[in-house]
Structure 1
Amino acid sequence: MFFSTIRFIIGLGNPGIEYEGTRHNIGFEVVDCLTEKLDIKLIPGKGDYLIGWKRINQQHVGIVKPLTFMNNSGVAVRDIAESYSTSTSGLLVVVDDFNLPLGTLRLRHKGNDGGHNGLYSLIYHLHSNEFPRLRCGIAGVTMPTNKKDMAGYVLSTFDKQENEIADRMIHRASDALFVSITEGLDAAINKYNTKNV
């Protein structure tokens, strides 16, 4: 039986109905998809986050949605790491990535923030970039060329054609998370680091 080093899966996003379905909230949507597949209910945690638990391969895995908004995600994630005495390598984070084409998944053991404010907040508050992350591509065919327009772009919703691709990506991403826990990160990397949506 495989025993995973992953203790928490954390989807980044913005709480509130006005952010539902936006590109920036893909991390929340992937976690929602996973909780539905595993029949997990998220409840308020000890800090500013929702959490649910599932026993997989005789290990308890926490599924988390921070409620501190994207740019302050690190505050909630630091609280989780400290409260549960978890190393950064035990935190698998799910985020959107405007540098990747819509439908593309990239799972890595560690890395920099890549211009993502949520990842920047985690790296700042955890004092480490050594945590695994699953990046979900949200870039459409045409992209903004300046930073101000990009801020609006990531808070926009997908169009009808993009929605179909995004939905398939969300389901593949949730499968990648499950494989990461049950078979290991490397197995998930080998299987899901493609644009097969």
Structure 2
Amino acid sequence: MRILTGVLASSSALLSGVVGSASAACARLAFSRVSYGRAYPSSMPAAACKAAASSSAAADADAGAQKPWLFVGLGNPGRMYKGTRHNVGFEMIDAIAEAERISVSSKQFKAIVGKGLIGDVPVMLAKPQTFMNASGESVGQLVAYFKIPLNQLVVIYDDLDLPFAKLRLLPKGGHGGHNGMRSIIDHLKQSRNFPRLRIGIGRPPEEMGAISFVLRSFSKQEKEELEMTFQRGLQAVRIMVREGFNKSATFVNTPQPLEMLNRCKSPHIASKRRVDY
């Protein structure tokens, strides 16, 4: 009887270890690298994943699996808005997705969403499809469903009050007249305690209204300059998930030599009149 008990205990421990390993593998597969719609092949059968997930759901809940970072780029859906100033948030998400080989193609909670890894850190990329002024409808649902901590929600959007192609990364703040950010704050129960990566699009000419300006496309030269901005933003995102927000903010917010030179050449700073856009 003593021998039989020992065999049963050993078998139980072995089974527990197998199920645990399978669960970990399946959890990782949920945020696996993909190359625009084609996932890398996995040796984990679907049936095994389903069984492991079912067996260990309670254990995972108690252990508290690592929550992904959620990067949300703001913009307007549709071909007519592609490439406009108001859509640089979408373009930043596209740059991250391409560099990290994350397919942003599934539709969830009024957004196009992609899941993947940056290094070993799970991330989600999202582009709300609600139109700019209702961005919070999508973001609020994504945060609630996936239980994203607010300090791991990063909203990327255009900013009239920043010089063109300049980045600014802050841990929290108001909406600054940006209707997309206003909507997000409203749907997060007025919480402003989430990071935001602002991309400068400059101020409109005096004769042009803010709305007309943000819906205008970029020139060829501006597009080339923005590519450098997106590369810098990509580096900031990588630093953030691997080394923490503070180090990323230092990287982004420390003026570069060219920025310092441009500041010295500029005779004045344009007035910052609050506008909603």
Common fold, TM-score beyond 0.5?
yes
- Whole-angstrom CA distance in 2 between matches of 1:5 and 1:178: 16
Instruction: Give the aligned residue type for 1:153.
Output: F
Does residue 65 of structure 1 match 2:130?
no
Does residue 193 of structure 1 match 2:256?
no
SS in 2 for 1:101: coil
- Whole-angstrom CA distance in 1 between matches of 2:125 and 2:69: 9
- Give the match for residue 154 of structure 1: 214
SS in 2 for 1:107: strand
Does residue 135 of structure 1 match 2:198?
yes
TM-aligned CA distance change 1:170 to 1:57, over 3 Å: closer
Does residue 30 of structure 1 match 2:77?
no
Instruction: For structure 2, list consecutive stretches of 5 or more residues without a partner in the other structure.
Output: 1-65, 259-277
Instruction: Give the aligned residue type for 1:46.
Output: Q
TM-aligned CA distance change 1:67 to 1:12, over 3 Å: same
Instruction: Give the aligned residue type for 1:77.
Output: V
Larger radius of gyration: 2
Q: Please, which of 175, 182, 192 is the counterpart of residue 235 of structure 2? A: 175
TM-aligned CA distance change 1:162 to 1:56, over 3 Å: closer
Instruction: Give the aligned residue type for 1:177.
Output: V
TM-aligned CA distance change 1:46 to 1:158, over 3 Å: closer
- Whole-angstrom CA distance in 1 between matches of 2:130 and 2:210: 21
Residue by residue over 1:101-145, the C-alpha shift from the partner in whole angstroms, topping out at 9 and shown as x without a partner, is 0121100000000111111110011121111000000005xx244
Does residue 105 of structure 1 match 2:167?
yes
- Confirm or deny: 8 A CA contact 1:103 1:195 kept in the other structure: no
Q: How does 1:115-130 map to 2 (within 5 A)?
A: 115-127=177-189, 128-130=191-193
- Residue 59 of structure 1 deviates from its aligned partner by 3.5
- Confirm or deny: 8 A CA contact 1:10 1:93 kept in the other structure: yes
Q: Report % sequence identity.
A: 38
- Whole-angstrom CA distance in 1 between matches of 2:100 and 2:188: 28
Instruction: For structure 1, list consecutive stretches of 5 or more residues without a partner in the other structure.
Output: none
- Give the match for residue 226 of structure 2: 166
Structure with larger RCO (C-alpha < 8 A, sep 6+): 1
Does residue 90 of structure 1 match 2:152?
yes
SS in 1 for 2:75: coil
- Residue 175 of structure 1 deviates from its aligned partner by 1.8
When structure 1 is superposed on structure 2, of 5-14 and 120-129 the one drifting more is: 5-14
- Whole-angstrom CA distance in 1 between matches of 2:255 and 2:75: 22
TM-aligned CA distance change 1:163 to 1:55, over 3 Å: closer
- Residue 53 of structure 1 deviates from its aligned partner by 1.1
Instruction: Give the aligned residue type for 1:130.
Output: N
Instruction: Give the aligned residue type for 1:26.
Output: V
- Whole-angstrom CA distance in 2 between matches of 1:134 and 1:160: 24
CA RMSD of aligned residues (A): 2.0
Q: Please, which of 26, 33, 42 is the counterpart of residue 104 of structure 2? A: 42
When structure 1 is superposed on structure 2, of 122-131 and 158-167 the one drifting more is: 158-167
TM-aligned CA distance change 1:194 to 1:144, over 3 Å: farther
Higher share in strand = 1
TM-score (norm 1): 0.89
Q: Please, which of 94, 109, 117 is the counterpart of residue 55 of structure 1? A: 117
Instruction: Give the aligned residue type for 2:238.
Output: F
- Give the match for residue 78 of structure 1: 140
- Residue 6 of structure 1 deviates from its aligned partner by 6.0
TM-aligned CA distance change 1:84 to 1:5, over 3 Å: closer
